[in-house]
C-alpha cells in the first residue's frame, strides 16, 4: 500500500487530485469539551477506491487522537468496522451509554 499525503482542514483530513477535485476525506467533530473525536464520514471517490485511502484517512484521526490523548466515537460505518476489526484500537473507542 502506498502511503498517501493528506491536507488537514477544519475538522477533516482530505486529498484533492491535481485539478483540485476532492478524491478522499474523513470528517469529524469534537465533543465533550473536545475530549472525544466523533468520526462522522469517510469518502473516497470510486476511481480511487481499493488503494487503502480510507484506512489511511481514518488513521490520521487515530494518530491525532493518540497525540492529543482523546477518545474516538466512530459513527461512520467504515471507521466503526475498522475499530471492530482492530483490537489495538480498543483503548481509544469511546462508547457512551
In a domain, residue 20? The reply is: no
Structural domain contains residue 18: no
Residue at 2 is within a domain: no
Q: What is the CATH number of the domain that holds 55?
A: 3.40.630.30
- Alpha helices, DSSP H only, in the chain? 53-68, 77-85
Residue 9 domain flag: no
Query: How many separate domains does the chain show?
Result: 1
Identify whether 47 is part of a domain: yes
| Residue 16 belongs to some domain of the structure | no
Residue 60 backbone zone (phi > 0: left; psi -120 to 50: alpha; other: beta): alpha
pLDDT in tens, the chain (97 residues): 688 999 999 999 999 999 999 999 999 999 999 999 999 999 999 999 999 999 999 999 999 999 999 999 999 999 999 999 999 999 999 986 4
What range does the domain containing 32 cover? Answer: 26-92
pTM, 2 dp = 0.93
Amino acid at each position: 500500500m502506498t502511503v498517501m499525503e493528506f491536507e488537514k482542514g477544519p475538522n477533516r483530513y482530505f486529498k484533492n487530485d491535481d485539478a483540485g477535485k476532492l478524491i478522499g476525506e474523513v470528517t469529524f467533530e469534537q465533543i465533550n469539551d473536545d475530549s472525544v473525536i466523533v468520526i462522522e464520514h469517510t469518502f473516497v471517490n470510486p476511481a480511487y477506491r481499493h488503494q487503502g485511502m480510507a484506512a489511511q484517512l481514518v488513521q490520521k484521526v487515530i494518530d491525532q487522537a493518540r497525540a492529543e490523548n482523546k477518545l474516538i466515537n466512530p459513527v461512520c460505518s467504515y471507521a466503526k468496522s475498522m475499530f471492530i476489526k482492530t483490537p489495538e484500537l480498543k483503548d481509544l473507542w469511546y462508547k457512551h451509554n
